[in-house]
Chain A
């Protein structure tokens, strides 16, 4: 009985020839990360431990991104705590305002996450790096503390679901629509405790940014990780961004999967998740009523990358957002911000009546920079539409792709570019 791609990476990091689903292992970590919300709790826990410091100052990444630039005094205290810890422990990869970005866009861009790595992060969307063929998964602050101190973490080896992708995505349909389609199909606990392994000839038609979006939302199906095979595109990305050595693992031909699905990308349609769960999906064709909206957010660790901004700009160019619409666009990192500026995308956004913010997770989790009032509706390219996630408990979030979000901003209601 063979191993899945995820199992092979875990076996190698546990010093074992073979692992199987359900087995408890201890694995060596290549990277441990935290943000301004989770790191202070981890730092407090680590201070209780009888250790002299971190296991490896080069293998920890601290990215204040959720409530920065500091939204209030308490957030400022948290960021100060992270900053002081980073300086004291000479953490190489601490990213201050001005160099930081949303962690899961930033770390691949900085070359810190490569194929074959085992990565834990005290942020649920740490699963993003599976796009590059790494095993990466979200944990809590205590696991982060133990990881920073020892360089190790225990895992229960996951089983897997195989998604065999065929065909090519049509125009205006993206990785976001693919992952929303999958979550709609298997549910928010459809991959609970499991790996989601994406394979098949359809993979090569997905851009790296599409793959990051898909892997990013594995957690929204309950998955432990999402992972893609390492092809020429992934290798090119790593060569451009990283000096780290990478290792390519492939699933055995006789690997065992709990379930298998085949998805024809050419049949996918713009897909929207209705309140209040990411599994409540409808395609644009299934929406027969006008759903008027008050706000659009384009950004986040899910959809704040350059492909996403280019797509939004393509829709918004020469148009203007609907009267009364608040359209908030957040490039995920400084480099993406700069590139968007050089390509003229920011000008298109501002001329269309959108605002452009410095990188921040802000509105996605109801932190700041776009909180919703009672009864308000938002189309957002973020990843969760839980009750109260972006503000008032009686507000509503519709999750969608950048194309749908931008078109909805123009139309003032849920729409797609083909309808403008």
Chain B
């Protein structure tokens, strides 16, 4: 898996799937269209500021609520290369892996990294480097099969390739 590297957007506890992609936009399943409303109800400026490769950092229970896969799809299509959180809601966790959005649990990094920091994530080792602060954190490394799913850009491609 390639390293993720980008500027951090920072959020708090319990970022739910309704603020990641409000249901009023779920009459579309087009990733590019969903991306234009990503994080809209919690951070109106997100879609204007985000650049390819940027990283979302949040504290506990990121992605709680609905099972909508549109949530990780919108984040990925917005260009985000990785989400770091203290913990993830379980359906969001599954969905992110299944569509090939890298996510990583690391309570210390989630607490200390701040908005605007430049961060790099090495998925093979689970290491998270805050280049702005010169800090480093050990996150949970992905099991090999999850890395393969993400490399294949999702579960379906992975199953097909097997």
Contact = CB atoms under 8 A, between A and B. Distances in A.
B64 A140 contact: no
A38 interface: yes
B98 interface: yes
B28 A143 contact: no
Contacts of B157: 48
A143 B61 contact: no
B42 interface: yes
A365 B66 contact: yes
Contacts of B130: none
B149 to A, nearest CB: 10
Nearest to A72: B27
A50 B161 CA distance: 10
8 contacts: A37-B70, A40-B29, A48-B160, A142-B154, A142-B156, A143-B155, A219-B91, A387-B16
A219 B16 CA distance: 12
A328 B26 CA distance: 23
A38 B29 CA distance: 9
B124 interface: no
A89 B99 CA distance: 25
Interface stretch (A185-193, A207-215, A251-259): A185-193
B108 interface: no
Nearest to B88: A192
B14 A49 contact: no
Interface residues of B, number: 38
A388 B60 contact: no
B90 interface: yes
Nearest to A48: B156
Contacts of B66: 123-124, 365, 384
Contacts of A45: 154, 156
B156 A386 contact: no
A305 interface: no
B27 A222 contact: no
A50 B160 contact: yes
A143 B98 contact: yes
Interface stretch (B1-9, B17-25, B112-120, B132-140): B17-25
B107 interface: no
B69 A224 contact: no
A388 B22 contact: yes
A142 B155 contact: yes
A145 B67 contact: no
A176 interface: no
Given A37-B23, A38-B69, 15 more contacts: A41-B29, A49-B156, A50-B160, A78-B27, A122-B69, A124-B66, A141-B69, A142-B98, A142-B156, A146-B156, A146-B159, A189-B14, A192-B61, A388-B18, A389-B23
Contacts of B64: 188-189, 222
Contacts of A37: 23, 26, 68, 70
A41 B69 contact: yes
Contacts of A49: 156, 159-160
A44 B98 contact: no
B123 to A, nearest CB: 19
Nearest to B31: A41
A202 interface: no
B14 A277 contact: yes
B67 A386 contact: no
Shortest beta-carbon contacts, A-B, top 10: A140-B95, A74-B27, A140-B69, A142-B98, A189-B61, A365-B23, A388-B41, A124-B67, A138-B67, A141-B69
A198 interface: no
A293 interface: no
